[in-house]
Amino acid sequence: MSNLAYLSLGSNIGDRSKNLREAISRLGSLGRVAAVSSFYESEPVEVTDQDWFVNCAVELETDLGSSELMSQILKIESDLGRRRAVKKGPRIIDLDILLFGNEVQSVPELVIPHPAMTQRRFVLEPLAEIAPEAMHPVMAKSVQELLNELPSGQVVRKL
């Protein structure tokens, strides 16, 4: 496997943990799931009038390129019942590419590193559990450093 990707997974509809486990299982068809963080419950951000999320981070070794991986991730979301009715609204599953090796790109359908990852505790806390030394290729800081720099707030608790 030639590429190392870090993904963020989240769900706030139905059996949230089961939804994450099913998505992780399906990610195995795209490469080798090398690590999975603990599950964390987190308050919604931006659109706050919705149920809390369960989130985790996954390390995926894959032969796919980033665009192909994104395409396959969108298919997994769709197959699991994801409907994009309300932007940032409730979702059965949400899969985001956070980091893809040292790749930096910005096209309408894919931005790597994920543009909001540095402000989101629900992303950085699980990611720091499995990859504290992973480097943000633009900010030249480790995931642990980014987590340590976050202001207080954003309730995230390990399940």
For the stretch 105-116, pLDDT in tens is 999 889 999 999
Any residues with CB less than 8 A from the CB of 78 and at least 6 apart, and which?
A: none
Q: Could you give the CA distance from residue 57 to residue 124 in angstroms, rounded to a whole number?
A: 9
CA distances from 9 to 68, 131, 133, 141, 152 (A): 18, 15, 20, 22, 22
Catalytic site residue from 15, 26, 79, 82: 82
DSSP 137: T
Please say if 49 is a catalytic residue: no
CATH code for the domain of 146: 3.30.70.560
Looking at residue 1, its pLDDT comes to: 62
Looking at residue 108, its pLDDT comes to: 87
Catalytic site residue from 16, 91, 120, 121: 91
Q: Could you give the CA distance from residue 60 to residue 24 in angstroms, rounded to a whole number?
A: 10
Please say if 94 is a catalytic residue: yes
Catalytic site residue from 96, 120, 121, 157: 96
Mean pLDDT of 97-109: 95
Catalytic site residue from 94, 120, 121, 157: 94
CA distances from 136 to 126, 144, 149 (A): 15, 10, 14
- Print the domain residue range for 137: 3-158
Identify the H or E element spanning 79.
Answer: helix 66-79
Place of tokens 């608790």: 157
State both tokens at 76: 């997994």
Q: How many domains does the chain have?
A: 1
Please say if 51 is a catalytic residue: no
Q: In whole numbers, what is the pLDDT of the chain averaged over residues? A: 94
pLDDT digits (tens, 9 = 90+) for 11-68: 999 999 999 999 999 999 999 999 999 999 999 988 888 999 999 999 999 999 999 9
